Amino acid sequence: MIDCPVRQPAAAAARNARPAGVLALMLMLLLVAGCAATPRLSESTEQSLPRQLLLDDVPFHAQRDYQCGPASLAMVLNDGGIDVDVDTLIPQVFLPGRDGSVQPEMLATVRRHGRIPFLIDGRLDALLLELAAGHPIVVMQNLALPAWPMWHYAVAIGFDLDRDELILHSGEEPRRVESFRRFDATWARSERWAFVALPPGALPAGVRPHRAMEAISDFERAQGSDTALPAWEALAERFPEKGMVQFALGNARHAGGDTEGAIDAFEQAVSAQPALAVAWLNLGLARRDRGDTAGAREALGRAAALPGHWQPHAREALEGLKEESP
């Protein structure tokens, strides 16, 4: 549940606040922030980054009430070329009963607008490398304490390594500057949840194959195989040695009617991972569809010889192939 704190008029604050409790909470937050250590970047990351960076083309939308979620989404979607405003996004992502937006709705809304939300590793190194690649990042923070959370979404848009500072569009404040130490403390309380929203075919700077496959698969279910195909092509090009990635590309090509392309991808999959039975099975079926009976028999035989879930399916397909042969 996202609370998205907003500034209140003085009179409203006076009515709603309980002074002793608020003062105690503020003192506790200051104590926690003061004790937190500044996160250190790896030497390789620090050497690869510019000393200062600002993605100054990222638009700013001030949040209204508890709507930091829709405001943050509008910023990253607008930056990616999607013409959508905060008012359009509010009913798609904002949950009035919870006074905020939750992570699944945030990610689903990104997919609905034709972009793939890739979760990034919860490390400051990963966050800064994405910014250096030109990707603004939606981050989730808890601005209070775990026992009394005050959830908030913001958009990271830059950094200054010499001053150990991060720059964010946050709440009602564009280009808010936070120390790495304070940001990391509030980010850690959300389990360092963050994502980039990219068009199909673009990948995060720190892409990991299994996490990317999950993101693209979710996008494919929302938008269809044709729309997701450029993402599978890009991932397969980045990771030619990953059998499951090549297998997924083969399935996407086959769904789009590209049998030859699917066969090429399935062949790369079994070459990279010879024990991947499902890839042998789909290779055999694709070769059968092409009319290559001998090639289909060879692939299905390999699948049928591998124990596991796909073995009976491969044996059944192999028997059917024998019955079809003259």
- The more confidently predicted of residues 224 and 102 is 224
pLDDT tops 80 at residue 175 = yes
Average pLDDT over residues 4-8: 46
Confidence tier at 4 by pLDDT (50, 70, 90):
low
88-108 mean pLDDT: 81
**Percent residues over pLDDT 90 in the chain:** 79
What is the mean pLDDT of the segment spanning 83-105?
Answer: 83
pLDDT confidence bin for 179, thresholds 50/70/90? very high
Residue 84 CA to residue 98 CA, distance in Å, equals 23
pLDDT at 95 exceeding the cut of 60: yes
Q: Which pLDDT score is estimated for 37? A: 81
Question: What does the pLDDT look like over 281-324, one tens digit per residue?
Answer: 999 999 999 999 999 999 999 999 999 999 999 999 999 987 77
The mean pLDDT value of the chain amounts to: 89
Please list, in sequence order, all residues whose beta carbon lies within 8 angstroms of the beta carbon of residue 156, skipping any fewer than 6 positions away.
127, 131, 136, 137, 139, 166, 167, 168, 194
Domain segments of the chain as ranges: 39-198, 209-324
- For the domain made up of 39-198, give the CATH fold: Cathepsin B; Chain A (3.90.70)
Stretch 96-120: mean pLDDT, rounded? 88
Report residue 26's pLDDT band, with 50, 70 and 90 as the boundaries. Answer: very low
* pLDDT score of 18 more than 60: no
Q: Let me know if the fold of 39-198 is the same as that of 209-324.
A: no
* Confidence band for 100, pLDDT divided at 50, 70 and 90: low
Tell me the backbone φ, ψ of residue 25, rounded to 5 degrees.
-65, -45
Q: What is the pLDDT of residue 206?
A: 94
Q: Which CATH number fits domain 209-324: 2.60.40.10, 3.40.50.920, 1.10.1740.10, 1.25.40.10?
A: 1.25.40.10
* DSSP symbol at 38: P
Q: How many CB atoms lie within 10 A of CB 179?
A: 15
Cα–Cα distance for residue pair 28/4, rounded to 1 Å? 20
Of 112 and 3, more confident: 112
**Beta-bridge partner residues of 153:** 140
For residues 152-164, give the mean pLDDT: 97
Q: Where are the beta strands (DSSP E) in 25-144?
A: 52-54, 116-119, 137-142
CB 151 within 8 A of CB 190: yes
pLDDT at 147: 82
Q: What is the pLDDT of residue 117?
A: 98
